Amino acid sequence: MTDEQLDQLSINTIRTLSMDAVQAARSGHPGTPMALAPLVYTIWNRVLRFDPRDPIWPGRDRFVLSNGHASMLLWSALHLSGTRAVNADYERLGEPSVTLDDIRRFRQLGSHAPGHPEYHWVSGVETTTGPLGQGIATSVGMAIAERWLAHRYNRPGFELFDYDVYAVCGDGCLMEGVGAEAASLAGHLGLDHLCWIYDNNRITIEGSTQIAFTEDVAARFLGYGWDVQRVGDANDIDRIERALRIFRTAKGRPSLVILDSHIGYGSPHKQDSAAAHGEPLGDDEIRLTKRRYGWPEDAKFLVPDGVREHFAAGMAARGAEARRRWTELLSAYRAKYPELATEIDLMQRRELPAGWDRNLPVFPADPKGLAGRDASGQVLNVLAQNVPWLLGGSADLGPSNKTTLTYEGAGDFQSSTPGGKNLHFGIREHAMGAIVNGLSLSKLRPFGATFFIFSDYARPAIRLSALMEIPTIFVFTHDAMGDGEDGPTHQPVEQLASLRAIPGLVVLRPGDANEVVEAYRVVMKLRHQPAVLALSRQPLPTLDRKRYAPASGVARGAYVLADPPGGRPELILIATGSELALAVQAHEKLLTDGIRSRVVSMPSWDLFEHQTQEYRDGVLPPDIRARVAVEQASTFGWERYVGSEGRIIGMRTFGASAPLKELQKKFGFEPDRVVAVAKELLGR
Ligand SMILES: Cc1ncc(C[n+]2csc(CCOP(=O)(O)OP(=O)(O)O)c2C)c(N)n1
Ligand SMILES: [Mg+2]
């Protein structure tokens, strides 16, 4: 067979595997894989520097399938390239990432060919996609990471980081706001290692894009400062390859390749129709389509002889050679720059450098205290100096979030200063979340910041970081009614409850400056979980830790902060964040009134849930049923800790625009109110 015939055979293998898998599953999306098989084939077999034997080699090009519904493209590519699996500890397992059997069991429980690409579940998937727009936005984080890594680690003769990021997207990704936010920032930053390929098939679920998407995409991206190319025929793999080569020579701007395609290509009755998008073609139509492709009509899940070998001779040979050269380069680099090489090693395993926590502040007792955000700013500035690859920024609220890294040499990340550690996301919270994910997927330790209320704008990306099990850090300040006069638009109510509901996300609401330090200690040690820090705008008293329990209890999620003299409490006050000092004040009053109260500081439900039953019962003894929770947020969920007999002092409405003091009075966040509720509960 000629090379051209093998190209065509490989492309049709991807098409027919996709059709067969969707048919077998009786659900899925066949049309886009049929149309984009030539594109994915060209990227994988002709362009991508990716070694199937080591899908996590740091120098590899990244491939992101942002139109995740076309996942069969990825399962086919991973299968045909013979990509091997790695485990959660980044060990190479040697076994195939996606087997033909997985593809036969597309979308079934346990299959490594699930409905949408899932990072952490299938090796070779660079990021989880499916929620449209997330993949392209995340790819911007990967491209920022490449620039930053190159600046920090490359040395003359040692171009360790020089990888490209390819992201394939459809109409949906380009309609979504997050894609636009990310594209705008990528253009501003001139990320020339970033290439998006837009599947311009003019079809979405409801039909033609004429019903809702008639903008001039090329003009928009030119406006963003991108390089824009058009390939008029998605079946022309030489043209596709040429466009990708032009991208690799483009300097100072990201590239968009607009690829005109036909969804359901080859299907006599469904090509170019929305019907090809999200349902099986049907057995008869599959037979007719296979006939068009010159494929055996009744063969199912057929991988003809020569196809795997063609990938082996193309991508695998090229990838193995690229990785071999990179590995040699790294060993020479290691001899010359041992400290920098060690950093690269640690980063890959998500480990911390020795001395990562040196110089962390210890705050003395202080009734006036410090705002959570201010303590956080001090801690971040120490950590960022100890951990070179800790970096991040805010969505234009750095001065308010106190997340700006101000130490000498921290610098701003811009196209002309790609070593800077202060990222300026602009007012683009959603893209910020996705970009932070992309940075973390590139093994940097990123944080993103905004007001807690605007976590809503980033939520889809935060959810994905939890689903992907990556250790991103979200620093959210102004976590309750502390910004008083800004009013209910700026006062979070339901955000804590809703973030606590995300599986695996570690939400921490520290109660004083030393709890902030301890919260960061916990967060820094996470390797497979994202974290949210909810921090106060206003000063909180720094508790006297000689009098009360040490703040290190934060690591257990909840701990006994104060007990009555001699122990034996009859009532438990549970509080978080800005309400901790309030609970302590109420506790002191109750003691003078002869009521034996305990104060439990509970900065993190999630961490507490992971303690032993014994520990949890020690903090919240089951026989003490008089319990009061105090938190300036939705009461939703606190029943689980106060029980049916307990009380919750929290928010049942939105806040209001007024000075904080008046709001505390109006909504009952005052010591006397806590005391009154406690007494009422005890019937005294
Ligand atoms: C954020 C989000 N909204 C809605 C969906 C549901 N959805 C999946 S595919 C799709 C249509 C996508 O159209 P397009 O990107 O053009 O893909 P094509 O059908 O051309 O492959 C929609 C609405 C989704 N996956 N994510
Ligand atoms: Mg489309």
Whether residue 422 has its Cβ less than 6 Å from ligand 1: no
Give the closest residue (by CA) to ligand 1 atom 22.
205
Residue 278 Cα to ligand 1 middle (Å): 9
pLDDT at 91: 87
The answer to whether 638 touches 650, Cβ cutoff 8 Å, is yes
For the chain, the average pLDDT equals 97
Give the closest residue (by CA) to ligand 1 atom 16.
171
pLDDT at 250: 95
Q: What is the DSSP letter of 155?
A: B
Residue 205 Cα to ligand 1 middle (Å): 7
**Active-site annotation, residues:** 429
Give, for 339, the enclosing helix (H) or strand (E): helix 338-348
At position 270, the amino acid (one-letter code) is K
Q: Give the tokens for residue 368.
A: 């006036």
Residue 214 Cα to ligand 2 middle (Å): 12
Give the closest residue (by CA) to ligand 1 atom 8.
69
Counting ligand 1 atoms within 8 A of each CB, the residue from 36, 69, 459 with the most, and so the one to mutate, is 69
Whether residue 32 has its Cβ less than 6 Å from ligand 1: yes
Whether residue 204 has its Cβ less than 6 Å from ligand 1: yes
Distance CA 438, CA 457 (A): 17
pLDDT averaged over 10-residue windows placed end to end, the chain, 684 residues: 96 98 97 98 98 96 98 98 93 93 98 97 97 98 98 98 98 98 98 98 97 98 98 98 97 98 98 96 98 97 98 97 98 98 97 98 98 98 98 98 98 98 98 98 98 98 98 97 90 98 98 98 98 98 98 98 96 98 98 98 98 98 98 98 97 96 95 98 94
**Residue of 92, 84, 159, 155 lying closest to 122 (CA atoms):** 84
pLDDT digits (tens, 9 = 90+) for 450-482: 999 999 999 999 999 999 999 999 999 999 998
Distance CA 649, CA 464 (A): 32
pLDDT digits (tens, 9 = 90+) for 59-104: 999 999 999 999 999 999 999 999 999 998 888 888 999 999 999 9
CB atoms within 10 A of CB 252: 10
Biggest CA-to-CA distance, the chain: 93
pLDDT digits (tens, 9 = 90+) for 403-432: 999 999 999 999 999 999 999 999 999 999
Q: Give the tokens for residue 612.
A: 């032993």
Ligand nearest to the CA of 31: 1
Whether residue 314 has its Cβ less than 6 Å from ligand 1: no
Report helix, strand and coil shares of the chain as percent, to nearest 5.
Answer: 45, 15, 40
3-state secondary structure 399-451: HHHCCCCCCCCCCECECCECCCCEEECCCCHHHHHHHHHHHHHCCCEEEEEEE
Ligand 1 atom with the smallest distance to the CA of 67 is 15
The answer to whether 350 touches 389, Cβ cutoff 8 Å, is no
Residue 135 Cα to ligand 1 middle (Å): 12
Distance CA 450, CA 459 (A): 12
Residue 114 Cα to ligand 1 middle (Å): 17
pLDDT digits (tens, 9 = 90+) for 18-31: 999 999 999 999 99
Ligand 1 atom with the smallest distance to the CA of 277 is 19
Distance CA 12, CA 299 (A): 13
- Ion ligand 2: residues, CB < 5 A: 170-171, 201, 203
Going by C-beta distance under 8 Å and a sequence separation of 6 or more, which residues neighbour residue 619? 558, 559, 560, 600, 608
pLDDT at 294: 97
Whether residue 116 has its Cβ less than 6 Å from ligand 1: no
pLDDT at 104: 98
Give, for 369, the enclosing helix (H) or strand (E): strand 366-371
Q: Which residues pair with 168 in a beta bridge?
A: 65, 197
At position 480, the amino acid (one-letter code) is A
Q: Give the tokens for residue 274.
A: 């929305």
Residue 140 Cα to ligand 1 middle (Å): 20
Rounded to a whole number of angstroms, the distance between the first and last alpha carbons of the chain is 92
